[in-house]
């Protein structure tokens, strides 16, 4: 593929400007959903076009790019998106979380703590947290404006009444900056605490749904939870990654013929932990 | 005074200066002859005091249900003002609740008023369990402790004489009368000061109707809220209310003590209504 | 003026009532006209006259079930300003009915699902009396009126006419009132029960309660009434 005739970052400058405006508004109103003119992309909608457009509008030639899918730098979708972005920008790619300035992710927050000079871009399938309880988009907007989330709380109430706790495993609703309730994209509950007070800028892009929203650095983010109930993340106690031995990370459950195996979901973490172990030995 | 309406009107359609004078009881029509808008409520003023029970009667299309919806703000008011006790502006003066910002309107709906609809599909969310429906109102009023919400939901579920074991069932699995009971529990769970009832027992068989009316009356007595009851059934009005307002073509034609309205109706239309009673 | 008013519990002046039947071509039916009387605390005023003379209508007009066409009904309240029952706001009438003015109607109007005891206790509970205490007083009142205890839990609608009448009286007088209106309180009672009721009315007089009652029986009027007002059939 030749990049001679393609502008830096694939988009023309007007397109980038429009998307950046949406991002600026999203940053100014933490957790608020901003519509934007989602473009046709060389990959199909629903395959990360929201995150891709955010990344392409942000990226400069000085950036270092990391793309992960379920924590993995090597999965086919991550590789394709990374190859595409590199081909239209020529930026340096990396798998090292601390080295990256832009990390585009699907379904995970990296294990390695983020810093102020980093931006985490989420690929989002369903941006509107209220869709499950209110199909009318005009009503959804009113509910957000009135901070009227009683219907979401009812779901939580029903799960608690019937199952003892919420049954939501991913996309756990969060309250951003004590105002808007937001869909954090399908990250596991394990990653929810990492959203809060994070030094990095977090931007959420939904290409098919044409929506952008954001969590600015150091913003308070809380899971939607009754005040007399604890928020419980996935329990991996007694389990460790079979490859690197990590215990305090999010583990993928792999079902093979000889039983269930557990491995780190974050491949960069797994690789570095493995090296450290070998270095120590 | 708990609630006061001043010159409240509701026009469906473009509306014009002729709408109000050309329609109503005197004109004997609800459709404006000039712009063909429907005047559902025409210049109605009324007051409800604490613990008072007001009935609203009139034939279908007289505007009685619309009047309730205007008070509950299910519909925007075209003209007029509504005051609610304790709702004041920054200077401490009583203020028109129609001009409140949306969040305060929502607060008013969640804390101070409740509505019971004829159709349980309007008053209940059928995707939520009975307990969930009650919880929604309690949550809307600001409670965020699960144990408190659950206890309250069970308490009000008990108040409507339903077994606790059924609280997590969904509205589809209840009978029509039970669905009305769940609406009542939901409506009362925020301890409102004003309960609005739109034909609460219409369509239920008479034995169920009687039990629900008795329940409403007992709970009103116990909790002391005010009520506005819309019904075309003079038996319901007689059983529940102290005061009655008669509407025709969107206008208020008569107001008085319920026994006076039923035994000594003044207006020709009220006399016709009362004489039509079975 | 005020000293004069204080002598009266109720003063009815030039009271008139007619009914206009709009759906019968606007026919006007005269109920009564130019009725004047007054009564003091502790007095029983008897209304008498032929059937159709408007005696019941006068009671209903005082109770505001009927709206007066003309005249005034000045009710002097113990610790409150005087009101004109013919014209005061409806919400005042509701308050007065709860606490100050009772009405024993000619026929018992009651829900078929309510027991005699509950029906009689209700007016007390309504003004805030503890439920157990209210029921205890209701029990006493019913016993005093000769209702057998095994009937207490049944609906009065299954009772005989005389028993219903007595339940009705018990209901009307159990709560403390200042003025009680009674529409033929002894109409369907035998001699013995009538005597019981009259004794009860006499006790109310001792407690300074003003009463207006309709009686047909001249002997009863002589026995209990302090004032008798004849209502004549009116000519239009």
Q: How far is B251 from chain C (nearest CA, A)?
A: 19
**Nearest residue to C123 (alpha-carbon basis) of C162, C168, C92:** C168
Task: Tell me the three state secondary structure of residue C149.
Answer: helix
Task: Please state, in angstroms and as integers, the Cα–Cα distance from residue C180 to each residue in C96, C162, C225, following that order.
Answer: 11, 20, 14
| Tens digits of residue pLDDT in B99-155 | 998 888 888 988 999 999 999 999 999 999 999 999 999 998 889 999 999 999 999
* Of residues C20, C22, C67, nearest to B260 (C-beta): C67
Residues B48-101 have pLDDT tens digits of 999 999 999 998 889 999 999 999 999 999 999 999 999 988 888 889 999 998
| Contact flag B139-A157 (C-beta cutoff 8 Å) | yes
Three-state SS across B84-150? Answer: ECCCECCCCCECCHHHCCHHHHHHHHHHCEEEECCCHHHHCCCCCCHHHHHHHHHHHCCCCCHHHHH
A72 included as an active-site residue: no
A and B interact (at least 3 Cβ pairs within 8 A) = yes
Check pLDDT > 50 for residue C236: no
Give the burial class of A198: count Cβ atoms within 10 A of its Cβ; 0-12 exposed, 13-18 middle, 19 or more buried. Answer: buried
Task: Find the mean pLDDT for residues C82-109.
Answer: 92
Residues of B in contact with A158 (CB under 8 A): 128-129, 131-132, 135, 168
List pLDDT tens digits, range A123-153. Answer: 999 999 999 999 999 999 999 998 889 999 9
Note the pLDDT tens digit of each residue in B221-254: 889 999 999 999 999 999 999 999 999 999 999 9
pLDDT at C5: 43
A250 closest CA partner among A105, A150, A42: A105
pLDDT digits (tens, 9 = 90+) for B171-210: 999 999 999 999 999 999 999 999 999 999 988 888 889 8
Q: What is the ipTM of this complex?
A: 0.90
Question: Would you state the pLDDT for residue A4?
Answer: 63
Closest B-chain CA to A151: B136
Answer whether residue C235 shows pLDDT above 80. no
Residues of chain B with Cβ-Cβ distance to C90 below 8 Å are 243, 255-257
Instruction: Look at residue C46 in the predicted model and tell me its pLDDT.
Output: 96
**Each residue of C98-116: pLDDT tens digit?**
889 999 988 888 888 899 9
**Which of chain C's residues have a Cβ under 8 Å away from the Cβ of B272?**
22-23
Please give the CATH number for the structural domain made up of C1-100+177-236: 3.40.50.300
Class of domain A13-132+157-223: alpha beta
Q: Tens of pLDDT along C133-172?
A: 999 999 999 999 999 999 999 999 899 888 999 999 999 9
Catalytic residue among A72, A245, A264, A279: A264
What is the domain partition of chain A in residue ranges? 13-132+157-223, 235-281
Distance in Å, alpha carbon of B48 to nearest chain C alpha carbon = 9
In the structure, what pLDDT confidence band is assigned to residue A48 with cuts at 50, 70 and 90? very high
pLDDT band at B276 (very low <50, low <70, confident <90, very high): confident
Taking CA–CA distances from A148, the nearest residue in chain B reads B140
* B135: contact with A, CB 8 A cutoff: yes
pLDDT at C234: 52
Residue C130: count other Cβ atoms within 10 Å of its Cβ: 10
pLDDT reading at A1 higher than 80: no
pTM of the model: 0.86
**Cα gap B159→A171, rounded to integer Å:** 37
Reading phi first (left if > 0) and then psi (alpha if -120 to 50, else beta), residue A70 is in left
Which tens digits make up the pLDDT trace of A177-230?
A: 999 999 999 999 999 999 999 999 999 999 999 999 999 999 999 999 999 999
Give the containing element (helix H, strand E) for A64.
strand A64-69
Mean pLDDT of C203-222: 93
Q: Do strands B251-257 and B243-248 pair parallel, antiparallel, or not at all (unpaired)?
A: antiparallel
According to DSSP, residue C234 is labeled P
């Amino acid at each position: 593929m030749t990049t001679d005739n393609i502008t830096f970052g694939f988009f023309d400058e007007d397109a980038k400007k429009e998307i950046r405006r949406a991002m600026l508004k999203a940053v100014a109103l933490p957790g608020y959903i901003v519509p934007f003119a989602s473009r046709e992309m060389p990959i199909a909608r629903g395959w990360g076009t929201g995150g891709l457009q955010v990344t392409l509008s942000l990226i400069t030639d000085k950036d270092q790019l990391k793309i992960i899918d379920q924590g993995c730098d090597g999965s086919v979708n991550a590789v394709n998106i990374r190859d595409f972005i590199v081909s239209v920008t020529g930026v340096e790619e990396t798998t090292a979380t601390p080295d990256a300035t832009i990390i585009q992710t699907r379904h995970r927050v990296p294990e390695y703590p983020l810093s102020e000079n980093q931006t985490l871009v989420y690929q989002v399938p369903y941006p509107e947290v209220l869709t499950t309880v209110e199909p009318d988009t005009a009503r959804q907007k009113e509910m957000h404006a009135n901070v009227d989330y009683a219907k979401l709380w009812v779901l939580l109430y029903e799960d608690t009444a019937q199952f003892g706790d919420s049954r939501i495993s991913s996309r756990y609703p969060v309250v951003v900056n004590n105002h808007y309730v937001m869909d954090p994209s399908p990250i596991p509950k394990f990653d929810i605490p990492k959203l809060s007070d994070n030094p990095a800028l977090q931007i959420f892009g939904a290409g098919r749904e044409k929506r952008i929203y954001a969590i600015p650095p150091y913003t308070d983010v809380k899971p939607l939870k009754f005040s007399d109930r604890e928020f419980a993340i996935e329990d991996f106690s007694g389990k460790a990654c079979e490859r690197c031995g990590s215990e305090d990370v999010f583990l993928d459950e792999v079902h093979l013929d000889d039983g269930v195996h557990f491995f780190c979901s974050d491949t960069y973490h797994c690789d570095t932990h493995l090296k450290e172990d070998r270095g120590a030995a | 005074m708990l609630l006061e309406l001043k010159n409240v009107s509701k026009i469906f359609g473009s509306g014009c200066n002729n709408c109000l004078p050309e329609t109503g009881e005197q004109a004997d029509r609800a459709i404006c002859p000039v712009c063909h808008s429907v005047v559902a409520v025409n210049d109605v003023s009324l007051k409800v005091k604490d613990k008072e029970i007001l009935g609203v009667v009139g034939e279908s299309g007289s505007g009685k249900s619309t009047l309730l919806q205007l008070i509950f703000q299910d519909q925007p008011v075209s003209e007029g003002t509504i005051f609610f006790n304790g709702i004041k502006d920054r200077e401490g003066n009583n203020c028109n609740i129609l001009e409140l910002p949306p969040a305060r309107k929502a607060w008013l709906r969640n804390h101070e008023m409740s509505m019971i609809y004829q159709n349980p599909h309007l008053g209940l969310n059928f995707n939520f369990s009975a307990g969930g429906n009650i919880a929604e109102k309690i949550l809307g009023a600001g409670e965020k402790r699960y144990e408190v919400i659950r206890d309250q939901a069970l308490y009000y579920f008990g108040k409507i004489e339903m077994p606790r074991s059924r609280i997590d069932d969904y509205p589809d699995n209840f009978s029509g009368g039970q669905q009305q009971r769940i609406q009542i529990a939901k409506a009362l769970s925020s301890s409102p000061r004003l309960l609005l009832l739109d034909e609460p027992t219409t369509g239920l068989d008479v034995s169920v109707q009687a039990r629900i009316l008795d329940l409403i009356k007992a709970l009103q007595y116990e909790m002391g809220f005010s009520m506005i009851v819309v019904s075309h059934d003079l038996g319901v009005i007689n059983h529940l209310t102290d005061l009655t307002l008669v509407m025709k073509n969107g206008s208020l034609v008569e107001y008085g003590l319920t026994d006076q309205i039923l035994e000594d109706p003044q207006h020709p239309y009220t006399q016709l209504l009362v004489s039509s009673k079975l | 003026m005020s000293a004069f008013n204080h002598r009266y519990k109720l003063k009815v002046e030039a009271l008139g009532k007619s009914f206009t039947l709009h759906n019968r071509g606007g026919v006007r039916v005269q109920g009564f006209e130019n009725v004047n009387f007054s009564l003091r605390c502790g007095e029983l005023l008897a209304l008498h006259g032929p059937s159709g003379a408007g005696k019941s209508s006068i009671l209903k007009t005082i109770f505001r079930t009927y709206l007066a066409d003309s005249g005034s009904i000045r009710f002097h309240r113990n610790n409150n300003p005087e009101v004109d029952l013919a014209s005061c706001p409806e919400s005042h009438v509701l308050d007065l009915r709860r606490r100050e003015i009772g009405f024993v109607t000619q026929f018992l109007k009651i829900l078929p699902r309510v027991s005699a005891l509950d029906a009689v206790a209700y007016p007390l509970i309504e003004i805030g009396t503890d439920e157990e205490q209210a029921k205890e007083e209701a029990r006493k009142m019913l016993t005093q009126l000769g209702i057998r205890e095994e009937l207490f839990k049944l609906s009065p609608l299954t009772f005989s006419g005389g028993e219903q009448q007595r339940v009705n009286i018990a209901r009307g007088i159990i709560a403390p009132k200042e003025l009680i209106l009674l529409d033929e309180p002894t109409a369907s009672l035998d001699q013995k029960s009538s005597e019981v009721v009259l004794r009860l009315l006499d006790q109310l007089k001792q407690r300074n309660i003003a009463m207006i009652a309709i009686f047909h029986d001249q002997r009863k009027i002589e026995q209990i009434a302090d004032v008798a007002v004849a209502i004549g059939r009116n000519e239009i």
